A and B are shown apart, each in its own frame.
Chain A
Amino acid sequence: MSTGGNGSGNGSSNGNGPSYASLLALHDLTARLSSQVDSARREIGETRQILKDAIDRLMPAFTATRSHDSPERAINPSRREAFSALQFQDISDQLLAHAQARLAMLQQEVDLLMNALQPANHSADMVAKLTALVEQANDNLADLDLSHLKPVGKAHLGTGDAELF
């Protein structure tokens, strides 16, 4: 396997680029990073599903008691509190969805690096290739910060503001 033109595959460098061994180590690192990010994405997905299932099971029981409430004051105080609390599944889900989107983007960048570092893709212009990839990744990450603004400002269980224009 040739790397940076040295062609030895023994881990040495010709002085003009990274050695085969260092590229291989980087490739292994990116593979492990990709695997970890993928696991985190899946775990967030599972958490979202658990929260959704819990709410789906809770809501019918919660709303089925409608007939016991008086029409003049349909929402008793304890139920008002419960309503506010239940809405945090929706809010949490939005935050988790954003976290998943960020991780998906990170994984995409890591996978690009991993592919470039694969021994079969090593070439004499590895440094230039990697430099371009890193620049592109930095741009993409900057875009990610701009396009995935945190959508939810709530940090406590209080209800939100209301205004008529």
Chain B
Amino acid sequence: MKTILTVDDSPSIRQMLAYVLSSNGYKVIEAEDGEQGLEMAKATQADLVLTDQNMPKMDGIALIKALRALPNYKKTPIMMLTTESSQALKQQGRDAGATGWMVKPFDPEKLLEMLKRAFAQTTA
């Protein structure tokens, strides 16, 4: 069973993600900001990280940079799931090492499809 770390300061978004992902056979661990996400990623090896951008303490792009600095997260897919859709910010995410970008509100089926593609890209 693949483990997905979701990082979002909105409890309702975390609940929705947990529902969608666990209903589809993923194990879900949750963090409510970038700092907590980083600690959880160090404690448990996630197979994929799904993170929001605007969060207290540490934002999504800072989290991606911190994760990419860890040897065991160099190739792990990291997806942004955010209300932000500006090209400039997407480019920052890409430069930081994001694997993909999804704009909220997310469609559950589209999200699952994207995760499958991200996993396939990693193993290819």
Is this pair of chains taken from one and the same complex? yes
Residues of A that sit less than 8 Å from B by CB: 55-56, 59, 62-63, 66, 69, 71, 74-75, 79-80, 83-91, 93-94, 151-154, 157, 159-165
Please determine whether B12 and A161 come into contact, CB atoms closer than 8 angstroms: no
Number of CB contacts from chain A to chain B under 8 A: 108
Q: Chain B: how many interface residues by the 8 Å CB criterion?
A: 37
The answer on a CB contact under 8 Å between B83 and A164 is no
17 examples of A-B residue contacts, CB within 8 angstroms? A59-B15, A63-B15, A66-B23, A83-B105, A84-B107, A85-B105, A88-B105, A159-B105, A159-B110, A160-B102, A160-B105, A161-B85, A161-B103, A162-B102, A163-B100, A164-B121, A165-B94
CB distance from A63 to the nearest CB of B (A): 4
Q: Are B85 and A162 in contact (CB under 8 A)?
A: no
B residues lining the A interface (CB < 8 Å): 10-13, 15-16, 18-20, 22-25, 54, 83-86, 94, 98-111, 114, 117-118, 121
For residue A122, give the distance in angstroms from its CB to the closest CB of chain B: 42
Docked pose: A86 CA to B105 CA in angstroms:
9
A66 proximity list for chain B (CB < 8 A): 19, 22-23
A87 B23 Cβ-Cβ under 8 A: no
